[in-house]
Amino acid sequence: MTTRTQKVAASVAVAVVAVYIFVTLVTVLPSSPLRSSVVTATAPYFSQKWNVFAPSIMKTNTEFVIEAQWRGDGGELVKSDWVSVTGIEQQSVPGHAMPSRIQKSSWNAMLAYYGRYVALNEQQREVVRDTFIERDGEGGYRAKPPAPLIEQLEAVDGTDAAAQGDIVRFLRYDYMLKEYATDFATAYFGKPIERVRWKLVRTRPNDFDHRFDEQQQFDPYTVTFGWRHVDDVVDPETLAVYDDMLKRYGPTS
């Protein structure tokens, strides 16, 4: 025989389960009028996307490759070689059953950055592949401020209100990568870095039907971005962490 307590307890449990099922189904289903309000109300804790390796499985390796400039003894700009941040971070993978999560750092960052880059139109992409450096009026250089940069990108033909969000989202990630590249380059080259730039390199292994071929089926796809001005000093604590990481995974490890 069921008691009142049992009925109340079971009713609450069923209600909670029902609400959760409703919320998640609305969240994972394609767009519906309810979706945005439900997602807003339940994010970020219950945010979830289960399109892992789907619908089209990932087929390319994505790399974050950086280059830096610093002032030489004579005050001239010295340019470094290209260095693959992703290549160094992914030294953590081979031979480790459960690799350090460092394997995903620049790899995921470049996937997000690339997604925001392709959201721009062709003319905007051309602008962001250029340098973000300008003369400071005193014979030196400085970073282009964000406001005129946004204006320049918004002035491109065909930019609507939705595209303005894409511009800001791209520039925010671009700024983050500038910081990431600066920290990394400062530790890697051991110099006070004045400018950084990077390229996104995507390499695709042969398709299934050509998996035994010696010859590479696809050429690497590279997008090189322009120079970014470094306007802040890397703090010693951060530098020490990067130095330590490079000792483990870097070329001298």
Partner 1 sequence: MNQPNASRRLLPALPEPRQVPALLIGWLTRSKHATFSLSFLRIIYGGIILAFLATNVADRHYLWGVASQWVEPEAKRRGWIGLFQIAFPKDDAALFDLSYAILAILALLFLIGWQTRFVTPLLLVFWVGLATNSTVLTNGGDTIMRITLLFLVVADLSQHWSVDAWLRRRGARQVRPLWRGVIAETVKNTASNAAVVLCAYQIMLVYVNSAIYKLSGVEWRDGTAFYYSLVLDVFRPFPALSDLAWQWDVGVFVATFLSVWVQLLFPLLVLWRPTRIAALIVILGMHLGIGLFLGLWPFSLAMIALDLLFVRDSSWRRMLAWGLSAVKALVGAVRPLFTDRRPAPKPAATTSGVGAAAGVAATAAVAQPDSGR
109 or 153: whose CB is closer to partner 1?
109
Asked if residue 90 binds partner 1 (CB under 8 A), the reply is: yes
x-or-dash string of contact with partner 1, 111-150, rule CB under 8 A: -x--------------------------------------
Whole-number Å distance between alpha carbons of 238 and 31: 42
Of the CA atoms within 13 Å of residue 132, those in its CB half-sphere come to 27
Asked if residue 5 binds partner 1 (CB under 8 A), the reply is: yes
Site for partner 1 in 144-183 (CB under 8 A): 172-173, 175-177, 179-180, 183
Q: Which of 31, 51, 215, 252 binds partner 1 (CB under 8 A)?
A: 51
Whole-number Å distance between alpha carbons of 187 and 173: 21
26 or 78: whose CB is closer to partner 1?
26
Of the CA atoms within 13 Å of residue 195, those in its CB half-sphere come to 21
In angstroms, give the least distance from the CB of 192 to partner 1.
18
Sign of CA dihedral 38, 43, 46, 49: positive
Tell me, by CB under 8 A, how many residues bind partner 1. 74
Orientation angle between helical segments 105-118 and 161-189, nearest 10 degrees: 150
In angstroms, give the least distance from the CB of 189 to partner 1.
17
55 or 158: whose CB is closer to partner 1?
55
Whole-number Å distance between alpha carbons of 116 and 175: 13
Q: Are strands 61-71 and 77-79 parallel, antiparallel or unpaired?
A: antiparallel
Asked if residue 41 binds partner 1 (CB under 8 A), the reply is: no
Whole-number Å distance between alpha carbons of 27 and 35: 6
In angstroms, give the least distance from the CB of 194 to partner 1.
18
Structural contact between residues 89 and 139, judged by C-beta atoms closer than 8 angstroms:
no
In angstroms, give the least distance from the CB of 63 to partner 1.
9
Site for partner 1 in 52-71 (CB under 8 A): 52-61
In angstroms, give the least distance from the CB of 75 to partner 1.
29
Q: Which of 10, 34, 77, 155 binds partner 1 (CB under 8 A)?
A: 10
Q: Which of 41, 97, 147, 162 binds partner 1 (CB under 8 A)?
A: 97
Whole-number Å distance between alpha carbons of 175 and 212: 41
Cα angle for residues 31, 41, 48 (degrees, 5° grid):
60
Whole-number Å distance between alpha carbons of 171 and 58: 25
In angstroms, give the least distance from the CB of 146 to partner 1.
12
